[in-house]
Structure 1
């Protein structure tokens, strides 16, 4: 199963995909379409899965680019393929190069795909709580502007991620967000356990997009934790599994 955003799908000359676990060759805890180069999966299985994703996007495998993600606000600009083993450390990619698929990996964190149809500039960001809080969304939009985009024309799609009803956090987590901005309290709901709260990562991401001037936003609404069609870091921890698979979510300008 491949998910698409109606907003992005309506743009001519653009392809994108939020990939689920379906259609891959990995086995065991990685069963399905694991695209995580940094996972403990069989590298040959990961390579085949990524080849299948690249084929779905109609690009050669070497033209499906991801970064070494570090939960940062850092963004890189891609103009040509790079070796997977030498991929830059960052949490977002932007490009204006046709035929170059850019993507992020996720397994609970928020994948966001961006496009300015008029300027022909695209972006992909990995927004976990830390990256979202420290500005990866705003930095991605700024990097797209450097390539000629206009933030008023940018549309964005938020992919599958862990949703509020599945995302329990401790009070120290809540305090960190409120210390940054008291208005962030609205993204937390009471939890069943004392000293804990339920965090709305998707709502926080949508607000940061709005703050960055991106007003047309799609959201798949899917919860990676409760939906076994998707990998989930938190679910793997609760099941005491040794590791977890990663999804690739990507976008490309047609040649």
Structure 2
């Protein structure tokens, strides 16, 4: 099982991983590998085993892997030692409880892991264009501060997500962003087709994070382009496939 560790979060008290498709038990071209998506049509037993393996990588029991029912919202859930496995509708989680693994699922959208190691507060957010545009990143930072974090100490790292070169959008999408802020034109370049644009979701995400006052970086790994390692909703859509898997990115405060 592979994960990507970033120096930005390599603190002795924080463990994190950006997981790929490798190391799982799911089968078939749609789900092969470490599919953790409970909303997929994959075998339920395989998905639960994959989630167990993710939790075990952190040295945690399966019931300590906390995820939410993601709905492309700005909503954030605070979880603690009373976590019971519920998956409320939300798109980010925060905690100050050691041994609790916070995970977000993606298949092109951006997984962002947050940490203020000094305060012992972490977060995880799922941000597609709706989430990034709608404020889930800022809401996650606010929720962390309510637990005692300080945004000047928070590091946020964006994991594997779709890149500009594979994210084509139409005129209506472009107009929506520029109506909000004309400077958002920076995140678009003309596509080969008329009235279409290539959209840079990772750049928007990093800008929203840095504008909110946190240090932010980006792995710059495209999920669409790397089929061996990552699931991709857009790749599945272009192929008219019936379903797709989801990878997970997760973070935990180590128990002392």
TM exceeds 0.5? yes
Aligned to 1:68: 69
| 2:167 equivalent to 1:167 | yes
Contact 1:6 1:218 in 2 (8 A): no
Aligned to 1:237: 237
Aligned to 2:219: 220
| 2:144 equivalent to 1:144 | yes
| 2:110 equivalent to 1:110 | yes
Q: Distance in 1 between matches of 2:186 and 2:61?
A: 44
Query: Map of 1:24-43 to 2, 5 A cutoff?
Result: 24-28=24-28, 29-43=30-44
In structure 2, runs of 5+ residues without a counterpart are: none
Q: Distance in 1 between matches of 2:146 and 2:69?
A: 22
**1:195, distance to aligned residue in structure 2 (A):** 1.1
Q: Distance in 2 between matches of 1:81 and 1:23?
A: 30
Which structure shows the bigger proportion of residues in helix conformation?
A: 1
Query: Map of 1:201-220 to 2, 5 A cutoff?
Result: 201-215=201-215, 217-220=216-219
In structure 1, runs of 5+ residues without a counterpart are: none
Please give the secondary structure, in 2, of the residue aligned with 1:108. Answer: coil
Aligned to 2:88: 88
Contact 2:122 2:253 in 1 (8 A): yes
Q: Alpha carbon RMSD of aligned pairs, Å?
A: 0.9
**1:41, distance to aligned residue in structure 2 (A):** 0.5
Number of positions where the alignment pairs a residue of Structure 1 with one of Structure 2: 252
Structure 2 length normalisation: TM-score?
0.97
**1:80, distance to aligned residue in structure 2 (A):** 3.0
Query: Map of 1:3-42 to 2, 5 A cutoff?
Result: 3-9=4-10, 11-28=11-28, 29-42=30-43
Please give the secondary structure, in 1, of the residue aligned with 2:152. Answer: helix
Q: Distance in 2 between matches of 1:87 and 1:25?
A: 23
Contact 2:206 2:217 in 1 (8 A): no
Q: Distance in 2 between matches of 1:170 and 1:4?
A: 35
Query: Map of 1:120-139 to 2, 5 A cutoff?
Result: 120-139=120-139
Q: Which moved more, 1:21-30 or 1:74-83?
A: 74-83
